[in-house]
Chains A and B, each alone.
Chain A
Amino acid sequence: MTWFSVNDLLTSNGPLVITDQLVSPGDFLLHQLLSEYVKNSSDGKCVIISTSQDVAKWKSISSRSGFNLTQKLEQGSIIFIDVPTQLPDLSPSEATLLPLLNLIRNSVKNLHRNGTTPTLLIFDELATFEWIGHPVLDISRFARALVAYCAKNDVYLVVRYHIAVPVDLDGVVRILLQLAAYHIEVLPLSSGKSGAVSGEISVHAGPTLISTPRRVIPRSRALQYRLGDYQVTYFERGMGSAVL
């Protein structure tokens, strides 16, 4: 079994972009990231912006990961923003994404960071806005503004993006990848679904990464993973428990 730490890929120079597909969803990386961040830094603050999963799922998985998200929410060290509920007027025809950007800025300011650990901002997920009708230009400006704000205020930014057409990366995702410091690709197995292997991940260094890449995993040596109910297991290709 191999250990893969998402926390090592956090940098305040640029966002960590996670792209996934329908057959291989990448929400396990977000949950693992939150768990590692909370365990590694006692004074860390976090803002989670969600368009798909409600807080109940985050609480359920975090309780199995060893920390109490409910307690953290009550203490104010973690803020959860459910976009459809808190911003119901954010429809494509009526408004831009500026209210969402303002809400995120205010939330980060309200966290009152006292320690040295940068705040973590998890944005799940950005492609939905493009699908429901928000203009690509508006979403691109929002993404750039968010990246700039996080870089200016020393905030770790993690953005998840669903790939609907794997062979054609266009629109917002191309701009996002140009801004990324690291890019984690969650890919399905080319041979189809398997009970022993849920998918594989590869890590690429982005254009905005200044320092030496901490860990890069090319597609040719992609790390395979298998999902459990609340945990994930990583292993090199051919080193899974089913083979050994």
Chain B
Amino acid sequence: MSTFKRKKAKAVTVSSSSETTVNLLPGTRLSPFSSSTILTSSGIASLDDILGGGLPLSCSLLVIAPDIHSSYGELVQKYFISQGLASGQKLCVIDDEPERFISECMWFSNGNSSSTVAPPAEDEDDSKEIDHDTNVNIAWRYEHLTQFQTTVSASKFSTDEFCRPFDLTYKVPGSFLDQATKSSQVVLLKASSDLKRVIDVITESLRTCSQEVVPVRICIPLLGSPGWGDLKPKEVLNFVYLLRTVLRQYPHGCASVGLRPSMSGDGWGGPGWLNKLSWLFDGSVTLAGFSADPSLSLTFPSHHGSFHIHRLPAPYSLRSASDRSSTLRGVSSVSGLTGGAGENNLAFKCTRRRLVIETHHLDVEGGVGERRTATAPVPLPVAVPVAVPIPAEEKEKKGTSTRSRLKGTGIAAMPVELEEKEEKEKEEPAGLHLKMRKKVTFRAEQQPDLYDF
């Protein structure tokens, strides 16, 4: 009997019986592992999977985006707001320009919604992947296996009402926003340096909805933006501490807070700044974009940044439900008898229509940029500057007599040339040598096999 066992992710089934006996709040569902935990969606299906099915009510989530050249953190906050609007939940948005921010939120594909661009029949990225995979001739013994998945789909959850399939090409309708503002579903507050007043407004929003029993989403897209004034680290921590206190008092609320990129490091808050912040939140994640480091963008061309998890919500248990249920993290499959491995590396990418978090796998060694299952494409020539010694005779002919002038003076001669278009067509450009990209081969074409006799 073979001792090897195939690792399979445990299937997560949501029992429908629990939902029928409890009157759930709009846009929420019960956690399959804890009947006292009520979950609400963050708007991103893959982020919900990482959080353990969604963000639990009475919990707060910190989204750190330290990249100053991108705004992925604000994008996550927009998803959070859009999901709250779509689910009919109450929103309290605190920002420098809350009206402008909320008007830029995405929406789902609907006949009444406004679209910034004409939606194509299929997503370009998805169609490319589909075409690529259909050309693969796979061995017969692997035909029954499912396609390799790096993320989770929104259809994993019971209904679309829990997590809407938002499309970045659509914006929330202006009429919908006006109606939501008039009916007080949306409370907009300008960021202020008076943190106590902000806490009072949040408390009031939660208190007024405690009788209506409607979930309240508190969203602070950019804590520390100029509208907040000149904040000190201890003031920020005190504010977050008070916010957590308010959420504990009114357990039908939840909060999502983003941090200004310049405040997202120990350089601003001192040693252990992010650790202290993460302790005061129930969940803490980082979306570290690659735009600040070009080498990372070249190394991982299919993703836009890496996703790190610092803390996950566990409001009624010792460990987060994500440890058992998350497909992306992959911890649940290894926590049993066959366990021992660490969790998956995660990365995110922002396509034209959505933001998705995926498992992050390293490329094949040897410099190949993708897992190739079809014929290799023609390698692109890469211009690599190679030091080629230029004969002194040619230099003298051209008239640059640097070497001759410096000859015998003891000074190193560094030939510097300007481009000469007339002679360019005839001669090869000196100093540059086109190299073909390195290919992965098991047998060098030019060198004989060592074992050939």
Contact = CB atoms under 8 A, between A and B. Distances in A.
Interface of A: 21-22, 27-28, 31, 52, 54, 56-57, 60-61, 82, 84-85, 88, 91-92, 127-128, 131-133, 162, 164-165, 168, 191-196, 198, 226-232, 240-243
B282 to A, nearest CB: 10
Interface string B330-363: 1111110111111100000000000000000000
B284 to A, nearest CB: 8
Contacts, number: 122
A242 B241 contact: no
B318 A22 contact: no
Nearest to A191: B342
A61 B318 contact: yes
A164 B279 contact: yes
Contacts of A54: 248
A52 B278 CA distance: 12
Interface stretch (B96-104, B285-293, B308-316): B308-316
Contacts of B275: 21-22, 162, 164-165
A124 to B, nearest CB: 12
Interface in B35-88: 36
Contacts of A192: 342
21 contacts: A21-B275, A22-B278, A28-B318, A31-B318, A57-B317, A60-B34, A84-B241, A84-B248, A85-B245, A88-B245, A128-B241, A131-B279, A133-B237, A164-B276, A192-B342, A193-B342, A195-B333, A196-B334, A196-B335, A229-B318, A231-B318
Report the 3 A-B pairs with minimum CB-CB distance, sorted nearest first.
A164-B272, A84-B245, A195-B334
A240 B341 CA distance: 13
B279 A162 contact: yes
Contacts of B331: 193, 195
A2 to B, nearest CB: 18
A228 B316 contact: no
Contacts of A241: 337, 339
B318 A132 contact: no
Given A22-B311, A192-B342, A131 B317 contact: no
B342 A228 contact: no
B234 interface: yes
A198 B315 CA distance: 18
B33 interface: yes
Given A132-B234, A164-B279, A196 B339 contact: yes
Interface of B: 33-34, 36, 234-235, 237-238, 241-242, 244-245, 248-249, 251, 271-272, 275-276, 278-280, 310-311, 315-319, 323-324, 330-335, 337-343
A233 B272 CA distance: 29
A172 to B, nearest CB: 13
A209 to B, nearest CB: 29
B276 A194 contact: no
Contacts of A52: 244, 279
Contacts of B34: 60, 229
A133 B338 CA distance: 46
A168 B270 CA distance: 12
A185 to B, nearest CB: 16
Given A57-B315, A128-B280, A228-B319, 12 more contacts: A21-B275, A22-B275, A28-B318, A56-B36, A56-B316, A60-B36, A61-B316, A128-B279, A165-B275, A195-B331, A196-B340, A227-B318
A15 B234 CA distance: 28
A65 B335 CA distance: 22
Contact of A229 (B279, B280, B317, B339): B317
Q: Which residue of A22, A191, A241 has the most chain B CB atoms within 10 A of its CB atom?
A: A22
Contact of B343 (A168, A193, A230): A193
A236 B234 CA distance: 40
A160 B299 CA distance: 43
Contact of A227 (B235, B249, B319): B319
B342 A194 contact: yes
A128 B241 CA distance: 8
A22 B311 CA distance: 7
B337 A242 contact: yes
A229 B241 contact: no
A180 B337 CA distance: 38
B340 A195 contact: yes
A195 B343 contact: yes
A174 to B, nearest CB: 15
A131 B334 contact: no
A131 B271 contact: no
A31 B276 CA distance: 22
A88 B203 CA distance: 13
A242 B34 CA distance: 26
B279 A22 contact: yes
Contacts of A196: 334-335, 339-340
B259 to A, nearest CB: 16
B339 A242 contact: yes
Contact of B318 (A128, A193, A228): A228
B340 A232 contact: no
Nearest to A189: B342
Contact of B338 (A22, A82, A227, A242): A242
Contacts of B334: 194-196, 242
Contacts of B271: 164-165, 168
